[in-house]
Chains A and B, each alone.
Chain A
């Protein structure tokens, strides 16, 4: 595949590691990070002193990379950064690793996200924080607080424009949960029915409990190194082929969004991604779409050109995004079911599929994957590939 980015094919993921995803880890964020990183290093067949770069992202809820480096006993390291932000970074942080490696600024980078997202700072209870704080006076007094209220209104408008009904979200939630049944990493593995979906509480219409991602304690880590080194380390390196960030006006900042009241990141990211990667929708075998909310899966399918706007209502019943479809989406159930590590657990599941390590969930011949990171109307996307 033609690629137009200098780092394309120059870096590869050689190991993943993760803690369990729980509602009470009983350990510190640093402890979670170290556990995930230790497992990732072992998965890559390396020792921790091989790490010479560290990248992470957080919303004031984690432990800085320098602290992790100290705890890992690294006597020296090179390129490192703490990004401030949430899920918008989950795909692009791998791109950042690839860029640093291609530029020769580090050779073996650990990327991690660690948080006590249930027992510590819970995303569902923070202010929307989309601005400098001054916008709170026009929002909080009306009983609006946090991303779920904000994106419920995005969902409401999207469903209105696409003539989607609650039953469409119900069948999507049921489908995604069915994928978690075979995923030992997932917190929620019991299948649900449409009746279960409607019996669960409404959080903020149209979003019910099973439309919203979990809040969990946990950590994920990935080891990225040069393509050359990767070949010698593991049987199936997962190559970083392309990655972008993009954004614009839209959901998350509707006050200034004009006509783009419900526009999400993928509207801006998709054209940038296809241009950078030199690819088309049909090139992908699987996708790891950011699923803070169920409806985002439908919106991303449309924005990335996997279906037309008119087809989103029927996409679940078409079977196309199921495990035997032409584009299995979030093969472990995603953040709706597995855990919420601000998108990095979706990247991990995708990597395991490309490594051929997805066990019972393995999608045959999965060699090319699309992953995304959502932050409202801005975010990122990543293309990962592996040899057959």
Chain B
């Protein structure tokens, strides 16, 4: 008997290594341009604001606000298809207007998720990978 495939593991790239290394240490960081201080997510090879290439990962507060979301009831994604409905959300970070990350919203029933909801980062253990940032209803 084969076990059902687990949830997808992040397919990391050299550019994003520091993001995942920080997550392994329970630190939530976002790429930032050293020249113009613009926060960048998803990470890029050059700053979208100033084209600078001196980029680093710096810590953010881990707080966020749901800007939009969807509740998925039937999923084609391995590991998610049997677990019941789940919420996926674009979460705006307070560190910069327009800075947003994608995550789940855990810690509450999916039907409670709404635009404007306060969330906070936590670190989920992903089988076969390690820790990854995710979000839950803010305490």
Contact = CB atoms under 8 A, between A and B. Distances in A.
Contacts of B89: 153
10 contacts: A138-B42, A140-B8, A140-B11, A143-B104, A153-B88, A153-B90, A157-B68, A202-B71, A254-B90, A261-B67
Interface stretch (A4-12, A144-152, A338-346): A144-152
B16 interface: yes
Contact of A261 (B41, B68, B132): B68
A137 B71 contact: no
B102 A139 contact: yes
Given A135-B42, A153-B88, A255-B41, A143 B10 contact: no
A144 B74 CA distance: 11
Interface of B: 7-13, 15-16, 41-43, 48, 67-77, 79-80, 86, 88-90, 97-98, 100-104, 115, 126, 132, 134
A139 B43 CA distance: 13
Contacts of A149: 70, 72, 88
A74 interface: no
Contact of A143 (B9, B69, B77, B97): B77
Contacts of B86: 143
B119 to A, nearest CB: 13
Contact of A204 (B10, B13, B71, B104): B71
Contacts of A261: 67-68, 90, 100
A73 interface: no
Nearest to B96: A258
Given A137-B10, A153-B70, A156-B70, A142 B88 contact: yes
Interface of A: 124-125, 131, 134-146, 149, 152-154, 156-157, 160, 201-207, 254-259, 261-262
Contact of A257 (B16, B88, B98): B98
A134 to B, nearest CB: 5
Contacts of A152: 70, 72
Contact of B77 (A140, A205, A258): A140
Nearest to B135: A142
Contacts of B72: 143, 149, 152, 203-205
B68 A142 contact: no
Contacts of B7: 141, 143
A146 B77 CA distance: 10
Contacts of A205: 69-73
A141 B77 CA distance: 9
Nearest to A143: B80
Given A153-B69, A254-B90, A145 B42 contact: no
A138 B102 contact: yes
Contact of A137 (B11, B67, B70, B103): B11
Given A140-B77, A142-B134, A204 B9 contact: no
Most buried by B among A134, A144, A154, A203: A144
